Amino acid sequence: MAGRYKSDLNWSDVTPKDVWLNRRKLMAGVGAVALGSIAGPVAASLNARKTAYGEGLEPNTWDEITSYNNFYEFGTGKDDPLRYAGELTTEPWTIEIGGLVDRPGSYGLEDILKDVTLEERIYRLRCVERWAMVVPWVGFELADLLDRVGVQPSAKYVAFETALRPEEMRGVRFPVIEWPYKEGLRLDEAMHPLTILATGLYDEPMPNQNGAPIRVVVPWKYGYKSIKSIVKITLVEEQPPTAWNEYSAHEYGFYSNVNPERDHPRWSQKYERRVGGGLFAKQTPTAKFNGYGDEVAHLYAGMDLIVNH
Amino acid sequence: MPGRPSPDQGLAPVSVVKRANRAIGLVPPLAIYVLAVLPPVWFLWQAQTGRLGVEPIKALEHELGELALQVLIATLAVRPVNKWTGINFLKLRRAFGVVTFFYVLLHLLVWLVLDVQFLDQIWADIVKRPYITVGMGAFALMIPLALTSNNLSLRKLGPIRWRRLHRLMYPVVLLGAIHFVMLSKGFQLEPYVYLGVIIALLATRIRWGEWRAALAGSAS
């Protein structure tokens, strides 16, 4: 069951209800307008359970979150996913869960969702390209699903795969990277309560360009670790190959924790810039583990995070 | 005579060539400089009003860089276009070159002032990130070209030395294309298209006959 995560925030940190109700109304309005223009009929709200987690963070707008995406399956331009991800069929959706699990099989998305409580998790998102956002995800802990399928003791890593459908994903017709997109987490990272499978944002079903219908969100790692539109989850003993690491290992490590101390060959990671600040947006210092160090630093005790970048 | 085909040569009909050349003859270089200001102003207005997306800094930087490459290609194309069609832009070529420098400078300024912002970061980027080193190299090579793109310099240097100096354009354009290839994430088509066009245009400069003669000479 979700909700193992304990935050250090008090009730005094929570925004008063009338304030957030107002804010939500405003957001819902923005979302509805955006959805209406992109996806046709406005989808039903998910009624995700509110959590104290992420309060105090001001989320980016619906438009910002859904118009500036890296989802190369639909093209390498930032607005390509907004334009072309609608071509992806997300219903029905099944995930092939296998490897070192007690109950392998093909799981329908409705089947996966019927046993979980959806929560809102407002997380910082940091891209390796140095831009950042705050996103009010809706989802459940990955650990819930892993517990349900029964992880065998010999499993050490979790491997994920994105759908590969050339007829619906125009970007995969060109070998930008090796398709299908693959990602992976160490088992303890995957079981961490901050790691979620997200099915929506702003209490609305996940827009296709953000990884519909279901995606990983690991907030302390660079965005490319949070794999989208997942069709396969495999529990394995060895560290699995991952897409960007295969493309260029010295640039993109397996761990890819947000780390201002590790100098990326393409972008200095010392600073970042929040999306939505316009032409004169200031750069701000990058926080190690994207600000989630208190929660996750212990996972890497004794490890050299420059070598294991 | 190279560069001046007789009227019965070339790929375009004679009347078209004549009319085109007459029209080009009417364009003062000053008009190119005035028109050249429009695209950056247009991009800036788009960026400021949200028309370049929610992250306008990167978008503006990219638009200006690509624009610079396009004008660079146009500058490089003047000679082969003249050779193959008889249409003669030579009179405006220097203006194209200066406009290219202007766009590269704007591209660089957006990167310095709006994007990276911190001096220590700027220097670190130039030294440590190969695609930035390459881009800065291209910019540095363009400085003497921009400074000597005036009649006084042409007179002082003399046409032979001036032309020799301005062959620096060849490495500049190649570095520009390589800069684009290097900064692209993953294997993308667009930068390779630019690189291919530029290599093809440079290849038209090679005097294969002289090369063959030189090779034959060294072999004997």
Per-block average pLDDT, block size 10, for chain A (309 residues)?
59 56 52 45 74 88 97 96 98 98 98 95 97 97 98 98 98 95 98 98 97 98 98 98 96 97 89 95 96 97 95
Tell me, yes or no, whether A276 lies in a domain.
Answer: no
Is the pLDDT confidence value at B12 over 80?
no
Tell me the pLDDT tens digit for each residue of B190-215. 999 999 999 999 999 988 888 788 88
Predicted TM-score of the model (pTM): 0.86
Which range marks the domain in which residue A138 is found?
13-253
CB–CB contact A177 B187 (8 Å): yes
Quote ipTM for the complex: 0.85
Q: Does residue B69 surpass a pLDDT of 80?
A: yes
Given an 8 Å threshold on Cβ–Cβ distance, is B121 in contact with A64?
A: no
Contact A79 B183 (CB under 8 A): no
Contacts of A176 in chain B (CB under 8 A): 186-188
Question: Does residue A152 contact residue A100 with C-beta atoms inside 8 Å?
Answer: yes
Specify if A300 maps to a domain. Answer: no
Q: Provide, as residue numbers in chain A, all residues whose Cβ is less than 8 Å from the Cβ of B52.
A: none
Give the closest-approach CA distance of B128 to chain A in angstroms. Answer: 7
Q: What is the CATH number of the domain that holds A32?
A: 3.90.420.10
Choice between B48 and A39, residue whose per-residue pLDDT is larger? B48
What's the structural domain count of chain A? 1
**Predicted local distance difference test score (pLDDT) of residue A51:** 85
Q: Do A176 and B187 touch (CB under 8 A)?
A: yes
Mutate which: A79, A279, A280, vs B, most B CBs within 10 A: A279
- Structure confidence at residue A35 (pLDDT): 46
User: Could you tell me which of A294, B126, A224 has the C-alpha nearest to residue A215?
Assistant: A224
**Hey, are the CB atoms on A176 and B128 less than 8 Å from each other?**
no
State the best of B55, B66, B116, B190 to mutate against chain A, taking most chain A CBs within 10 Å: B55
For residue B9, pLDDT beyond 90 = no
